[in-house]
Amino acid sequence: MGGDWASYLGYFYRVQDISFYDLLRMSDPGYQFVNWVANNVGWGIWGVNLISALVFSTGLVVFCRSLPRPWLAVAVAVPYLITIVGMGYTRQSIALGFAMLGLVSLGRKNTLWFVVWVLLGATCHKSAILLLPIAALATTRNKYWTAIWVGIVSIAAYFLLLEEAVELLYAGYIESEYQSQGAFVRLAMNAVPALMLLLWGKRFSFSEGEAPLWRWFALISLALFAILLVTPELLSNLVFKTLIKRHPDRLCSPRFHL
């Protein structure tokens, strides 16, 4: 149980007396389905945590087993990925478990399964959709065709799962003062290994399918870190004006102390 424990209890009790059809119409239907199942079989919130941990742990194990030194990867994952993300953020952990399965598929040049796993993750936490364009960037064969069909899927997923919440997600994860401090630490954690990968990439024994994948991740990590350092005020003003224009009523929420 982490800082969002009260929120997860709210998710759990919210689906106690709704139909399966109404469940599918809710935000994050995959995670709502996990809560719905745990409710109906009498497992309680502990069942939600069990299913979430199973998905996350499966993705982590499969991902680590795909690396040259699996136990080293597990050791690196323990302090932050497992203890903080896996144990503290249930929805994100499910999405991350599916995403890791997808990354293994993409490293094996199976773009279709990458998209499937990422979409499953996005039904639990919308931010997983942002991984979809990676498939078009990292593919080494049929690049144009892959870019077309992955682009179509990405646009459809955006409108189905993400469009209504994009401003809320941006404000909640980027604009809030306490989260901006956390964003700097998280992006710095990515920037350091990203820089090492780009400087000494020849020392890593990547397969043909893995090399472009992790190179793009490194470039994106450095770009995001640079954007956070250079343009925080510009981004803040942009999102604030957008919120005023499109959702003036939401600015009354305590969440939007920009």
Q: State yes or no: pLDDT of 71 exceeds 60.
A: yes
Q: State yes or no: pLDDT of 188 exceeds 50.
A: yes
pTM exceeds cut of 0.85: no
Evaluate whether residue 258 is within a structural domain: no
Evaluate whether residue 43 is within a structural domain: yes
pLDDT tens across 189-228, in order? Answer: 889 999 999 998 888 877 777 788 888 889 999 998 888 7
Mean pLDDT calculated for residue range 229-239: 59
Span of 84-88, 90-94, 134-138 with lowest mean pLDDT: 134-138
Q: What is the pLDDT of residue 106?
A: 85
Evaluate whether residue 153 is within a structural domain: yes
Q: What is the pLDDT of residue 255?
A: 46
pLDDT tens across 111-130, in order? Answer: 889 889 999 998 888 878 88
Evaluate whether residue 187 is within a structural domain: yes
Mean pLDDT calculated for residue range 3-13: 84
Q: Number of structural domains, the chain?
A: 1
The torsion angle over the Cα atoms of residues 187, 193, 198 and 199, rounded to 10 degrees, is 130
Q: What is the pLDDT of residue 173?
A: 54
Q: What is the mean pLDDT of the chain?
A: 79
Evaluate whether residue 257 is within a structural domain: no
Evaluate whether residue 174 is within a structural domain: yes
Evaluate whether residue 74 is within a structural domain: yes
With cut-offs at 50, 70 and 90, classify the pLDDT of residue 100: very high
Domain with 98 in it: 5-252
Evaluate whether residue 9 is within a structural domain: yes
Across 28-32, 69-73, 86-90, the highest mean pLDDT is recorded for 69-73
